Structure 1
Amino acid sequence: MRWGTEQRLEFIEFRAFWEGGIRRGDITDRFGVSVPQASNDLALYQKLEPNNLRYDASEKRYVPTVEFTPRFMKPNADRYLIQLKAIADHVIGLDETWITIAPQVDAMPVPTRRIDPVMLKRFIAVIRSKKSVEVYYQSMSGKRPEALWRRITPHAFGHDGLRWHVRAYCHLDNKFKDFILSRCRDLRNEDITEADANADRNWTSFFDVVLGPNPALTPSQRDTVSSDYDMRDGEVIIPVRYALLYYFEKRLRLDVVGEHDKPTEKPIIIKNWEEFCQARQAAAL
């Protein structure tokens, strides 16, 4: 089956599942195909999955049956909600999704850090070429209060929940570090490098964080938390890169001392806390 045909069949299922039905016009508008082609797509879909759709004359569209089971798409709540958030954040427009009418949605406004697209493009090129580059970087440490040129060998990007970082070997400090992307002011002097990304063990290695409901919650609340986080037997294992353990703890507020919060404000805990602390400290060395 051709990719274009399969994509239109996936679109049929998306609209049937999330929007409750689909018309030929939806296909022609979205993909720019002719009305006969849209009819052929619907006929092909009904041939492949005869029990999934039925024509509703009152609505003048095809609607899902009670036996509807997607074949070309896997319903994903996170993906749908991420698109709604991207629309609310004005990152994409509604016409860039397959959603017909977006429900009202908003997200907590978070000040964004300006990232120069040209700078990002240059970093991508350096990473692909496996070279080093000098970056004019403004650190917030007291040790280096002024911006300075420093040579780094970037190999990946990381996000800590709020900021984008460039993961790189720092030739000034002789170790792998995170550089906040928005604080990289300029690049110059690409060169060959002996730094090997595979040597960044904190990036290539993962620690299994075991999360569980806060034992201070009531049994009913603990059951709800287990369901919230899709836990099995009261726990869920989250593999986290060693390089991201610090951010993981901060973003989930797992570093807050227990008495500072009510149990309901800290519904999950790290069950392997001692091992987690050892791993986080090892990553900081």
Structure 2
Amino acid sequence: MAVALDQHRAAVLAGVNKTQLERLAYIDFKLYFFGELRRADVVDRFGMGPAAATRDIAMYKDISPKNLALDNTDKVYRPTVEFAPLFEHAPQRVLTALAQGFGEGFSDALKPMIRSEIPNALGLPKMSVLAPVMRAIHRGKAIRLGYTSIDSGYTEREIVPLALVDIGIRWHVRAFDRRHRQFRDFVLTRMDAPTVLEDSQVMQDETAEHDVQWSRIIELEFVPHPEHPRPEVVRMDYSIPADGVLRVSVRAANAGYMLRRWTVDCSPDHSLRGIEYALWLRDPLALYGANNAQLAPGYKDPHSKRKIKAL
């Protein structure tokens, strides 16, 4: 019976267009995370008529008949004890939706779906900077801009932006720097008046395929810090598998940032102390060759004394 139901679901969903699929996912979301669904929820979210919302709910019930039941007292659909989500809901997207809204409205109209609190972002870029940079990434173009670095102060640059990166405390752009002829990270808040260079040809060696640090994937293995007083809590916090090792893949270009953000002890002898060091990098040599490895707490390059410059 379960096999037949799964086949029925797959057949129905295969014939559903993208817009209706989004509405079905929203119905699933409301039932799963709020324990109730009103027809008005679908009407308000998608700006549709009551009859159309009723059809969507009926389709959802046809696909998963045991997922919801109508509570006649409140005229509300509620999940049954047999409820199983029809869609896979990614944790990060769910938390963002709950804290900032499920795409309802724009700008200040976005409101959290539950009482929640998110730390203020202190280093957000100007949209007048972000927009041309994103256009350049999307279209494979170079840009000219003013840039202020800690080492050089203000300079005029030409860069070929490749990707947008969030390191937790700021956003930066991975780009090819034509001035230094190498791939570097450029902080968005330090950019001034970027202009897309429509007539400037991007050469092959300026593309992401030639960025070795970006293309190289490093496999890291984390274990609860040997000095942590409650390793069982660490295993719970990071969903560490039964074998006791959390395995994470990361681009070499982003490894140091990630390890600093997570406060991972990367010393060879797990010598860093403090409750904030919940994880230890079991094999620090896995970072060898990553240009920003020395940003990682406690990391010691066995073959270099080069210092990473200020962030």
Counterpart of 2:93 in structure 1 is 79
Rounded to whole Å, the distance in 1 between the matches of 2:126 and 2:88 is 35
In the TM superposition, residue 61 of structure 1 has moved relative to its aligned partner by 1.0
Does the aligned pair in 1 maintain the 2:255–2:292 contact within 8 Å? no
- Could you tell me whether the CA contact under 8 Å between 1:202 and 1:283 is conserved in 2? no
Q: Answer yes or no: is 1:57 the counterpart of 2:72.
A: yes
CA distance in 1, matches of 2:110, 2:285: 46
Q: TM-score, normalised by structure 1?
A: 0.83
Deviations 1:192-243 (A, max 9, x none): 132232110101111111111012235xx22331222122211111111111
Match of 2:233 in 1: 224
Task: Give the conservation status (yes or no) of the 8 Å contact 2:160–2:176.
Answer: yes
| CA positional deviation for 1:184 | 1.0
Residue of 143, 167, 178 corresponding to 2:174: 167
Aligned counterpart, 1:140: 150
> How high is the TM-score relative to the length of structure 2?
0.77
1:15 maps onto 2:30 in alignment: yes
Pair 196,54 (structure 1): closer, same or farther in 2 beyond 3 Å:
closer
Letter in 1 for 2:96: I
Q: Who is 2:201 aligned against?
A: 192
In the aligned structure 1, how far is the partner of 2:292 from the partner of 2:260? 17
Could you tell me which of 236, 239, 242 is aligned with 2:252?
A: 242
Deviation (angstroms), 1:136: 1.0
Match of 1:44 in 2: 59
Greater relative contact order (Cα < 8 A, sep 6+): 1
Q: Using a 3 Å threshold, how does the CA distance of structure 1 residues 47 and 133 change in structure 2: closer, same or farther? A: closer
Q: 1:86 to 1:10 in 2, by over 3 A?
A: closer
Q: Cα gap change, 1:259/1:85 in structure 2, threshold over 3 Å: closer, same or farther? A: farther
The residue number in structure 2 matching 1:254 is 264
Offset of residue 85 of structure 1: 4.2
CA distance 1:21–1:29, change in 2 (3 Å)? same
In the alignment, is the contact (CA less than 8 A) between 1:214 and 1:222 conserved in 2?
Answer: yes
Are the counterparts in 2 of residues 207 and 279 from structure 1 also a CA contact under 8 Å? no
TM superposition shift of 1:259: 5.7
2:127 and 2:185 mapped to 1: Cα distance?
19
**Which residue type is aligned with residue 37 of structure 2?**
I
Q: CA deviation at 1:139?
A: 0.9
Q: What's the % identity of the aligned pairs?
A: 26
1:27 match: 42
Q: Aligned-pair distance for 1:186?
A: 2.0
**Equivalents in 1 of 2:19, 2:117: separation in Å?**
33
1:205 to 197, 216, 219: 216
Give 3-state SS (helix, strand or coil) of 1:106's partner.
coil
Task: For 2:158 and 2:146, locate their aligned partners in 1 and report how far apart those are by CA, in whole Å.
Answer: 9
1:249 CA displacement? 2.3
> How far has the Cα of 1:256 moved from its partner?
7.9
2:20 matches 1:5: yes
Tell me the amino acid that sits aligned with residue 54 of structure 2: S
SS of equivalent to 1:265: coil
Is the Cα contact below 8 Å between 1:86 and 1:92 reproduced in 2?
A: no
Paired residues, number: 270
Residue 129 of structure 2 aligns to a residue whose secondary structure is helix
Unaligned residue ranges in structure 1 (runs of 5+) = none
CA distance in 2, matches of 1:9, 1:34: 15
- 3-state SS of 1:279 partner: coil
Corresponding residue of 2:114: 102
List runs of 5+ in structure 2 lacking aligned partners: 1-15, 295-305, 307-311
